Structure 1
Amino acid sequence: MDTRSLRAAPTIPRSTSGWDGGKEVGGRKQYVMVDCLGLLLVVMVTAASVQDRDAAGPVLARLRARFRKIQLVWADVGYAGRLVVWAAEKLQLTLEIVERSDDASGFVVLRDVGSWRGR
């Protein structure tokens, strides 16, 4: 699970767009969940001003409603905290926080598909 903020076109109403202070982008934010092959499972779009943890609950709930067999979700540190406990208690999902190394630059694979086999 991850997000990306995108600049909104001039035709997008201000009521549905916002400012992402962390990425310094005005527009919308996409919340995306994919499987280990990169196949799209869930997408949700909000104003860029919505915090990742605030939108993650509805995104995880949509995942659970559509894919009952999924047990493990990897997410970045932006989703750490109470959301991990909530996902376990309410949705029976293990939300594993994956941290990026401070010395990494550019694209880096954080988890190998082989690391979850046998769980």
Structure 2
Amino acid sequence: GGYTGHLTDWTNQHFGLVLDIVRRGEDVRGFQPLPRRWVVERSFAWFLRSRRLVRDYERRTDTSEAVIRWSMIALMNRRLAAQPHQRAVLPAG
């Protein structure tokens, strides 16, 4: 199961990246959270908060990528605006 074979070879060859495939143990029964899986699930939840990303209206992949980037930029702006700006006070002299 999981992404194995051609995908891992392709990403290594084209981008020099090594995919870390997280697999569920064979002896695990019931629900068992996988390490770092929550990061992916949280990111998808953030994407779906953007109305335009709920459905795939775009015909071109570069347009879809731009909409995803725009959504994440808007999220970052909201988070940065919510944080009080604190300046470091340097000693005089």
TM-score, shorter chain, exceeding 0.5:
no
Which structure dedicates a bigger proportion of its chain to strand? Answer: 1
Which structure dedicates a bigger proportion of its chain to helix? Answer: 2
Structure scoring higher RCO (CA < 8 A, sep ≥ 6) equals 1
The alignment's TM-score, normalised by the length of structure 2, stands at 0.31
Bigger radius of gyration: 2
The alignment's TM-score, normalised by the length of structure 1, stands at 0.26
